[in-house]
């Protein structure tokens, strides 16, 4: 049976990297990178990924946007793609990526490959969300999101395995947002942006250190069960963003905003997607627990994506009512780096520094080092 | 990058036998028999009467067991073929299964354990008729006491994890005797201690606290100080850890836990690098255990059954499993009269054949020989580490530049980032050269891990050959990763889907389960 494969290349991905710009988001930076002699390797990387699919050429119908957004890489790899839509060559934009992805979604793809970095992953998420399987070919400057294969050729191998083999499965993976402006100033500011559905094979996707998705979901459920045991009657529970905290709400049968801060009790949802003021109002009336997970790829506890849990909220709730949860592979991925706090309040950062227990499973904790945001 | 790969490197090529052998139940032919027994003669039949009627009815089967019906030669062929599809300890340079201490186990000890003197013993025999076996158990305990410095041992645990469970059960009984079992509900371990420590303690009902290494890669004493409290029941720790790094502050660890009233248990499952050099007692531990099938050569893995031995100080001796083996000056006997005992940890007295093999192995080496085992194991390991670290893409994270004890947890992270090849795939490729290879326990803490443990058994030539295989595969990864990515090329099974391993619903560990789950539609 013929498989329908989409390919979108962000031709500007990665151009900021070699010239030291720490990213390629936005037209201004792209022009600066081009002026400095930046070259995108996205074409080559996409073509390299397609190499693995060449033996299956007769069984694959390849769809791409025109020219440098996929068509060229496809021809280069020896495919004759079906070309969709039109673009203005030389200055493609995030809108072009999103429009192409929506075209693919309309036509129905078995898999959509995209070559780019975190910014491209965000565009793909904005366009198609979790409506079809997608997979990133690493070609950007920053790839904090584990939606990318570890290597361009791994992306091709994984596509083959998913489309024609028995051993790849689908899995939800996080798309990480990183503030490039802040990053250039030396501050890592990652936060969870959304999720994509990716084909998963434990040997081919980066940042995956668990044996299988099944064991990962069992671990998330175990953590959720442990948290629910800690949710005392009469207490509010402030849930930070993330898939790990979402599992807590799901286990109670409640909705949860993926990137927002929500307030619940064991019995009910008190408020979704709250800001600092609303939290302060709520905890003025009742004692509370704070449940947060590590945000993004850098191991931030506070100050990245969960700002509604402000220094004042942390002071009022207290360190003793803070529950940090994390699948162990997220801790392992930190490679010994401490968890970071950057609440904007030195005293609160100080209060949280030292060693904090991190719930990693049911009746399982890790004592892990926490430090105030350090120099990069 | 342009250097072509030598098509015929000086490496041993291996091709696994492939027999496409069905499960034995699928080979069954109704009516076929291995041995045709003669009809019972009439005189005997009359004399014996109805033999079956003398069995209690509750022991009589209603239906005949559904065994495969096969001739003898078909059974032999079946198992001989399966054995050819194996990659066993006697077939390859087995340094790739780090933490398991895959040493050479002298065949003479196997012969001893298989002799009728041993194999015809029955655990229900009267003590007076098994004095020899009891004497060996008694003497083995004395030897292990000397090796560890502890006061008493039990040989009952059936494996390393069983020994850890014994240890934590004794610790739990000790705290209960102090009236503190409700209060002390936490067990502390480290991420590079063997994961059975956390698992066994959890089975025993404890909450688990795990410590990560400090900035230098050593167990983090400050994290321990943050974690201990009046809730601490015990520290369960391996040393050297699975990284091969010896904890230089082990006495501080023990003291920190003792100060809050917790006990300390030393996982010495693998004591191969410290025999005759350090003892659990001197570091202040209350409990320790050995795996007879690792350090004491009985041997490990599918080469034979496992056996654990747990040692305790005098304070904890009352809690040992029953029975203990005692000597009254004239005879050896089993002592069940131990009111504070945790009871039994497995049926009968332990794995007797392993006790005999361990005893024979220790006695054949003597005290100096044991120390030499450790010295050669450490030398071999550090020699191999030097060879491996010369390979492009390999590293040994934590405690960089320091020597390791008996094993090393390496990382192929660099190679993986350069080539997209993962550690596990290096292992698949290693099979094409007839060697086994292991990454690490999950979850991977060291990225792209590989754990090698050469023990004292392998020669320099063996270690050079193994390092040569790794160097060759690393070169392939850089030059033509497709070769590695698609490995193994010469094995019976190519790649398997790991997902079902974590899904009990898709397991079929018996033929009956297979029939129920697969054959009858629910795949």
> Nearest Cβ partner of B445 from A157, A169, A332?
A332
Asked if the model's pLDDT at residue B9 lies above 60, the reply is no
- Look at residue B178 and tell me if it is in a domain: yes
For A158, the closest chain B residue by CA position comes to B485
Q: How far is CA B85 from each of CA A178, A228, B436, rounded to the nearest angstrom?
A: 51, 49, 13
Can you give the pLDDT at residue A70?
93
Among A200, A221, A256, residue at a domain's last position:
A200
Quick one: pLDDT band at residue B523, thresholds 50, 70, 90? very low
Distance between CA atoms of residues B514 and B520, nearest Å: 9
Contacts of A330 (CB under 8 A, 6+ apart): A293, A294, A299
Q: Six-digit token pair at A355?
A: 């060693």
A151 touches chain B (CB under 8 A): yes
Same domain, A65 and A196: yes
Interface test with B, best of A55, A319, A355 (most B CBs within 10 A): A355
Query: What's B262's domain CATH number?
Result: 3.40.640.10
- The answer on A156 and A7 residing in a single domain is yes
Determine, for residues A210 and B443 on separate chains, whether the beta-carbon distance falls below 8 Å.
Answer: yes
Interchain contact, B227 vs A355, CB within 8 Å: yes
Residue finishing a domain among B339, B364, B389: B364
What whole-number distance in Å separates Cα of residue A327 and Cα of residue A325?
7
Q: Are residues B204 and B339 in the same domain?
A: yes
Identify whether residues A192 and A237 lie together within a single domain. no
Quickly count: other Cβ atoms within 10 Å of residue B460's Cβ.
12
Q: Residue B206 is encoded by which pair of tokens?
A: 């404890």
Query: Under 8 Å CB-to-CB from A264, ≥6 apart: which residues?
Result: A236, A237, A239, A249, A252, A254, A270
pLDDT band, residue B11 (cuts 50/70/90): confident
Return the structure tokens found at B488.
């193994």
Write out chain B residues lying below 8 Å of A209, CB-based. Answer: 442-444, 447
Q: Are β-strands A300-302 and A288-293 bridged in parallel, bridged antiparallel, or unpaired?
A: unpaired
More confident residue, B497 or B28: B28
Q: Are A50 and A160 in contact (CB under 8 A)?
A: no
Which DSSP string corresponds to B36-68? -PPPPPHHHHHHH--TGGGS-GGGS-SS-----
Token representation of residue A57: 């050429």
**Disruptive mutation site among A53, A209, A326, A327 for chain B (greatest number of B CBs within 10 Å):** A209
**Which chain B residues contact residue A153 at CB under 8 A?**
420, 481, 485
Question: A254, A272 in Cβ contact below 8 A?
Answer: no
Please check whether residues A172 and A239 belong to one and the same domain: no
Q: What's the CA gap between A99 and A111, in Å, rounded?
A: 17
Residue A210 in contact with partner chain B when CB distance is under 8 A: yes
User: Does residue A208 lie within any of the structural domains?
Assistant: no
Cα separations (Å) of B371 from A137, B208, B292, B299, B375?
53, 35, 16, 19, 6
Q: What distance in Å separates the CA atoms of residue B75 and residue B64, rounded to the nearest whole number?
A: 20
Tell me the chain B residues in contact with residue A151 when contact means C-beta distances shorter than 8 Å: 417, 419-420
For B488-504, how does the pLDDT look when each residue is reduced to its tens digit (9 = 90+)?
998 877 777 777 777 78
| A155 assigned to some structural domain | yes
Out of B364, B382, B405, pick the residue that ends a domain.
Answer: B364
- The contacts of residue A198 (CB under 8 Å, 6+ apart) are A133, A134, A135, A136, A147, A170, A171, A172, A173, A205
Same domain? For A355 and A288 the reply is: yes
Phi and psi for B266 in degrees, rounded to 5?
Answer: -100, 115
User: Residues 6 or more apart from B511 whose CB is under 8 A from it?
Assistant: B23, B25
User: How far apart are alpha carbons B504 and B509 in whole angstroms?
Assistant: 10
Tokens of B101: 């201490």
- Say if the Cβ atoms of B210 and A366 lie within 8 Å: yes
Residues A85 and A219 in one domain: no
Asked whether the beta carbons of residue B212 and residue A364 sit closer than 8 angstroms, the reply is no
Task: Look at residue A280 and tell me if it is in a domain.
Answer: yes
In three-state secondary structure terms, A157 is helix
Q: Two tokens at B71?
A: 């001739």
Give the one of B417, B445, B497 whose C-beta lies nearest to A166's C-beta: B497
Q: Check pLDDT > 60 for residue B521.
A: no
Q: How confident is the model at residue B425 (pLDDT cuts 50, 70, 90)?
A: very high
Considering only CB atoms, A367 lies closest to which of B207, B211, B499, namely: B211
Q: Are residues B154 and B75 in the same domain?
A: no
CB atoms inside a 10 Å sphere around CB B455: 25
**B503:A214 CB<8 A:** yes
A206 lies in a domain? no
Residues of B in contact with A225 (CB under 8 A): none
Q: Please indicate if any CB of chain B lies within 8 Å of the CB of A364.
A: yes
- Domain boundary pick from B329, B364, B399: B364
- Element housing A252 (H / E): none
CATH number at residue A170: 3.40.50
- pLDDT of chain A along its 376 residues, tens only? 799 999 999 988 877 665 666 666 777 777 777 777 666 788 888 998 999 899 999 999 999 999 999 999 999 999 999 999 888 777 788 899 999 999 999 999 999 999 998 889 999 999 999 999 999 998 887 777 889 887 788 889 889 989 998 777 788 888 887 776 666 665 656 778 889 999 987 666 655 444 455 667 788 899 999 999 999 999 999 999 888 899 999 999 999 988 889 999 999 999 999 999 999 999 998 999 999 998 756 688 987 778 899 999 999 999 999 999 998 888 888 888 889 888 888 899 999 999 999 999 999 999 999 988 653 3
Is position A194 within any domain? yes
Within a domain: B434: no
Same domain, B255 and B161: yes
Tokens of B13: 């090529």
- In a domain, residue B195? The reply is yes
Binary contact (B501, A211; C-beta < 8 A)? yes
CA distance to partner chain A, nearest, from residue B205 (Å): 9
Residues B76 and B210 in one domain: no
Question: Same structural domain for residues A152 and A238?
Answer: no
Torsion of CA A315, A317, A320, A323, to 10 degrees: -110
Q: Considering only CA atoms, which of A95, A53, A93 is closest in space to residue A76?
A: A53
At residue A22, the pLDDT reads 64
Residue A296, pLDDT score? 56
Its domain, for residue B29, covers 24-84
Residue of A137, A208, A211, A329 to mutate, testing the B interface (most B Cβ within 10 Å of its Cβ): A211
Assigned domain for A205 exists = no
- Judge if B184 and B56 occupy the same domain: no
Tally of structural domains, chain B: 2
pLDDT at position B217 over 80: yes
Residue A19's pLDDT is 63
**Whether residue A169 is found in the same domain as residue A245:** no
Tell me whether residue B357 is in a domain: yes
Please give the pLDDT value at position A307: 85
Nearest Cα residue to A199 out of A122, A110, A139: A110
Calculate what percentage of chain B has a pLDDT beyond 90: 76
Domain assignment present for B54: yes
What residues of chain B have any CB closer than 8 angstroms to a CB in chain A? 191, 198, 202, 206-213, 215, 217, 220, 222-224, 226-227, 416-417, 419-420, 422, 424-425, 442-445, 447, 481, 485, 495-499, 501-503
CB–CB contact A360 B210 (8 Å) = yes
Determine the Cα–Cα distance for residues A84 and B165; give it in Å rounded to an integer: 63
Contact call for A209 and B443, based on CB within 8 A: yes
C-alpha–C-alpha distance, residues A310 and A303, integer Å: 8
Question: Using CB atoms, which residue from A154, A209, A215 is nearest to B444?
Answer: A209
- The tokens of B321 are what? 């499993």
Provide CB contacts within 8 A for A354, sequence distance 6+.
A369, A370, B226
Assess contact for B410 and B449: CB atoms under 8 A. Answer: yes
- CA–CA min distance A351, chain B (Å): 14
Q: Distance (Å, rounded) from C-alpha B346 to C-alpha B329?
A: 28
Q: Which of B420, B443, B499 sits opposite A213 (nearest CB)?
A: B499
Cα(A133)–Cα(A232) distance, rounded to whole angstroms?
40
Confidence of residue B428 (pLDDT cuts 50, 70, 90): very high
Q: How far does B16 lie from chain A, in Å, by closest CA?
A: 23
B372 domain-assigned = no
Answer yes or no: do B330 and B189 share one domain: yes
Q: What is the pLDDT of residue A209?
A: 41
Place of tokens 């120099």: A375
- Give the whole-number percent of chain B exceeding pLDDT 70: 97
Question: Is residue B188 domain-shared with residue B286, that is, in the same domain?
Answer: yes
- Residues A218 and A350 reside in one and the same domain: yes
Residue B416 covered by a domain: no
CA A155, A158, A160, A162 dihedral sign is negative
Question: Long-range contact list for B278-281, CB < 8 A, 24+ apart?
Answer: B279/B147, B279/B148, B279/B149, B280/B148, B280/B149, B280/B150, B280/B311, B281/B148, B281/B149, B281/B150, B281/B313
A173 in a domain, yes or no? Answer: yes
Look at the block and give the residue holding tokens 């003898």: B72
In a shared domain, residues A60 and A165: yes
Q: Residue B316 carries which DSSP code?
A: G
List pLDDT tens digits, range B318-366: 999 999 999 999 999 999 999 999 999 999 999 999 999 999 999 999 9
Paired with B410 in beta bridges are: B450
Number of domains in chain A: 2
Per the confidence metrics, is the pTM higher than 0.95? no
B73 and B158 both lie in a single domain: no
User: A319 CB near a chain B CB, below 8 Å?
Assistant: no
Q: Any idea what the Cα angle at residue B263 is, between residues B261 and B266, rounded to 5°?
A: 155
Q: Tell me whether residues A357 and B209 touch, CB distance under 8 A.
A: yes
Residues A190 and A237 in one domain: no
Distance CA A340, CA A372 (A): 5
DSSP code per residue over A6-30: EEEE-TTTTHHHHTT-S---SHHHH
Task: Indicate which of A212, A339, A371 best probes the interface with B, i.e. most B CBs within 10 Å of its own CB.
Answer: A212
- A125 interface with B at CB cutoff 8 Å: no
Is residue B218 located within the same domain as residue B305? yes
The alpha carbon of residue A284 is apart from the nearest alpha carbon of chain B, in Å, by 31
pLDDT given at position A39: 66
Last residue in a domain, options A142, A169, A200: A200
Domain boundary, last residue among A200, A228, A253: A200
Lowest mean pLDDT among A186-195, B269-278, B500-509: A186-195
Q: What is the spatial distance between Cα B384 and Cα B351, in angstroms, rounded to a whole number?
A: 34
State whether B266 and B154 are in the same domain: yes
Report DSSP state, residue B260: T
Same domain, A141 and A248: no
Q: Rounded to an integer, what distance in angstroms lies between the CA atom of residue A212 and that of residue A102?
A: 30
**A224, part of any domain:** yes
Q: Are B469 and B10 in contact (CB under 8 A)?
A: no
Residue B404 distance to chain A (closest CA, Å): 20
Quick check: is B150 in a domain?
Answer: yes
- In the predicted model, what is the mean pLDDT of residues B155-182? 97
Comparing CB atoms, the residue among B198, B481, B498 nearest residue A202 is B498
Residues 6+ apart with CB under 8 A from A30: A12, A15, A16, A24
- Residue B126 vs residue A206, higher pLDDT: B126
Two structure tokens written together for B518: 């697969």
* Residue A81, domain extent: 3-200
What pLDDT, in 10s, does the model give residues B444-458? Answer: 889 999 999 999 999
E strands present in B438-492: 449-452
CB contact under 8 A, A209 and B416: no
């Amino acid at each position: 049976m013929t498989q329908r494969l989409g390919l979108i290349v962000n031709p500007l991905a990665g151009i900021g990297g070699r010239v030291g710009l720490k990213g390629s988001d936005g037209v201004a930076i792209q022009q600066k990178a081009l002026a400095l002699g930046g070259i995108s390797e996205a074409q080559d990387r996409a073509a390299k990924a397609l190499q693995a699919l060449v033996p299956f050429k007769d069984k694959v119908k390849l769809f791409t946007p025109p020219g440098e957004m996929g068509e060229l890489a496809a021809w280069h790899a020896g495919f004759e793609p079906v070309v969709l839509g039109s673009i203005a060559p030389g200055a493609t934009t995030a809108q072009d990526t999103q429009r192409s992805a929506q075209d693919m979604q309309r036509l129905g793809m078995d898999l959509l490959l995209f070559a780019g970095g975190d910014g491209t992953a965000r565009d793909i998420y904005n366009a198609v969300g979790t409506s079809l399987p997608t997979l990133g070919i690493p070609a950007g400057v920053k790839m904090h999101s584990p939606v990318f294969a570890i290597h361009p050729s791994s992306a091709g191998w994984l596509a083959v395995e998913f489309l024609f083999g028995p051993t790849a499965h689908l899995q939800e993976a996080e798309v990480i947002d990183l503030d490039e402006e802040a990053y250039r100033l030396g501050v890592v500011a990652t936060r969870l942006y959304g999720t994509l559905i990716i084909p998963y094979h434990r040997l081919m996707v980066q940042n995956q250190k668990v044996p299988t998705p099944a064991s990962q979901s069992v671990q998330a459920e175990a953590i959720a069960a442990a948290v629910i045991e800690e949710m005392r009657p009469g207490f509010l529970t402030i849930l930070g963003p993330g898939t790990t905290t979402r599992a807590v709400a799901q286990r109670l049968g409640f909705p949860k905003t993926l990137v927002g801060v929500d307030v619940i009790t064991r019995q009910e949802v008190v408020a979704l997607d709250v800001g600092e003021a609303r939290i302060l109002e709520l905890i003025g009336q009742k004692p509370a627990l704070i449940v947060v997970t590590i945000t993004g790829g850098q191991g931030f506890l506070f100050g990245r994506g969960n700002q509604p849990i402000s220094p004042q909220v942390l002071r009022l709730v207290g360190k003793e009512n803070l529950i940090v949860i994390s699948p162990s592979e997220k801790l392992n991925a930190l490679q010994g780096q401490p968890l970071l706090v950057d609440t904007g309040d030195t005293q609160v950062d100080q209060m949280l520094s030292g060693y904090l227990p991190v719930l990693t499973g049911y009746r399982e904790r890790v004592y892990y080092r926490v430090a105030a945001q350090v120099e990069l | 990058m342009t250097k072509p790969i030598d098509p015929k490197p000086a490496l041993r090529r291996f091709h696994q036998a492939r027999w496409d052998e069905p499960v034995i139940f699928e080979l069954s032919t109704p009516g076929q028999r291995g041995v045709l027994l003669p009809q019972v003669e009439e005189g005997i039949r009359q004399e014996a009467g109805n033999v079956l009627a003398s069995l209690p009815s509750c022991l009589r089967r209603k239906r005949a067991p559904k065994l495969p019906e096969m001739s003898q030669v078909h059974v032999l062929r079946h198992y001989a073929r399966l054995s050819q599809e194996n990659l066993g300890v006697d077939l390859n340079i087995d340094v790739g299964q780090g933490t398991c201490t895959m040493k050479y186990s002298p065949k003479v000890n196997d012969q001893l354990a298989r002799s009728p003197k041993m194999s015809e013993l029955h655990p229900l025999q009267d003590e007076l008729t098994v004095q020899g076996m009891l004497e060996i158990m008694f003497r083995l305990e004395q030897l292990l006491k000397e090796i560890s410095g502890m006061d008493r041992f039990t040989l009952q645990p059936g494996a390393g994890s069983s020994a850890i469970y014994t240890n934590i059960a004794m610790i739990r009984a000790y705290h209960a005797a102090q009236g503190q079992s409700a209060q002390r509900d936490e067990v502390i371990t480290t991420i590079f201690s063997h994961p059975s420590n956390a698992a066994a303690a959890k089975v025993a009902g404890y909450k688990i606290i795990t410590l990560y290494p400090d900035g230098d890669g050593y167990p983090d004493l400050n994290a321990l100080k943050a974690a201990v409290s009046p809730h601490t029941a015990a520290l369960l720790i391996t040393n050297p850890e699975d990284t091969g790094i010896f904890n230089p502050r082990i006495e501080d660890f023990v003291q920190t836990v003792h100060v809050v009233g917790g006990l300390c248990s030393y996982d010495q499952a693998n004591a191969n690098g410290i025999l005759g050099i350090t003892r659990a007692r001197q570091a202040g531990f209350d409990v320790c255990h050995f795996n007879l099938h690792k350090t004491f050569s009985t041997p490990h893995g599918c080469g034979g059954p496992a056996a654990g031995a747990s040692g305790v100080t005098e304070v904890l001796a009352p809690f040992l499993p029953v029975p203990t083996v005692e000597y009254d000056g004239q005879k050896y006997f089993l002592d069940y009269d131990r009111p504070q005992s945790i009871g039994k940890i497995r049926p009968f007295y332990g794995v007797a054949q392993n006790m005999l093999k361990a005893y024979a192995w220790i006695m054949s080496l003597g005290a100096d020989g044991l120390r030499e085992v450790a010295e050669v194991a450490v030398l071999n390991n550090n020699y191999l580490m030097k060879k491996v670290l010369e390979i492009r893409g390999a590293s040994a994270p934590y405690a960089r530049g320091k020597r390791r004890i008996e094993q090393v947890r390496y990382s192929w992270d660099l190679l993986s980032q350069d080539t997209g090849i993962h550690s596990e795939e290096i292992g698949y490729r290693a099979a094409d050269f007839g060697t086994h290879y292991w990454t690490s326990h999950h979850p991977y803490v060291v990225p792209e891990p590989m754990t090698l443990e050469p023990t004292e058994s392998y020669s320099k030539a063996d270690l050079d050959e193994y390092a040569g295989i790794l160097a060759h595969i690393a070169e392939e990864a850089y030059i033509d990763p497709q070769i590695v990515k698609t490995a193994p090329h010469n094995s019976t099974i190519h790649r398997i889907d790991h997902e079902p391993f974590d899904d009990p619903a898709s397991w079929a560990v018996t033929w009956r389960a297979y029939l129920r789950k697969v054959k009858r539609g629910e795949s």
